[in-house]
Amino acid sequence: MAVAFSGDPAAGEAAFRQCTTCHTVTNPAGEMLAGRGLAVGPNLYGVAGRPAGEVEGFKYSASMAAAGAAGLVWTEDQFVSYAGNPTAFLREYLADPRARGAMTHQVRREQESFDVYAYLATLAQ
Ligand code: HEC
């Protein structure tokens, strides 16, 4: 699937290192394309353009499951905004001030999230 992105995939590969303490990128053939085999977070293979909360076997927070059920899809915009502050994003998306996501990491420089999105999109092409 072609996914629109505006970041730089090469810069995203470097920036993705901050994600690998929790995420891998493993394709359907079972090859790990990125990451260190740690699965605190869901597999991010094909996350660009994918509905939220859909990795089979991963136990999402109730808030992420609710956002997925409500129709959240990881477009570039949603992804960048989520990565900057996951719990704040879910609170706004669900219009629930008590919503809480399970991802504690926050990307401080927004450009890095654009770049990581581009990197993840190209890995799944
Ligand atoms: C400290 C561990 C940790 C780090 C570091 C981390 N994440 Fe996560 N991530 C998680 C967890 C746990 C979840 C599940 C969230 C939930 O269920 O609320 C998650 C979920 C996600 C999702 C939703 C995926 C889906 O299947 O719907 C995206 C997108 C994501 N992370 C991107 C990133 C990116 C990009 C980085 C690096 C910039 C990153 N994460 C760094 C732990 C982490």
Residues 63-112 pLDDT 10s: 999 999 999 999 999 999 999 999 999 999 999 999 999 999 999 999 99
Ligand 1 pocket check for 53: Cβ under 6 Å:
yes
Per residue in 19-28, pLDDT tens?
999 999 999 9
Q: Whose CA is nearest to atom 38 of ligand 1?
A: 19
Beta bridge partners of 34: 25
Ligand 1 pocket check for 90: Cβ under 6 Å:
no
Cα of 23 to ligand 1 centre, how many Å? 7
Ligand 1 pocket check for 121: Cβ under 6 Å:
no
Which CATH code, of 1.10.760.10, 2.70.98.50, 3.30.530.20, 2.60.40.10, is assigned to 9-119?
Answer: 1.10.760.10
Angle at 29 between CA 26 and CA 30, to 5 degrees: 45
- Please give the single-letter amino acid code of residue 86: P
pTM: 0.97
Show me where the domains of the chain are located: 9-119
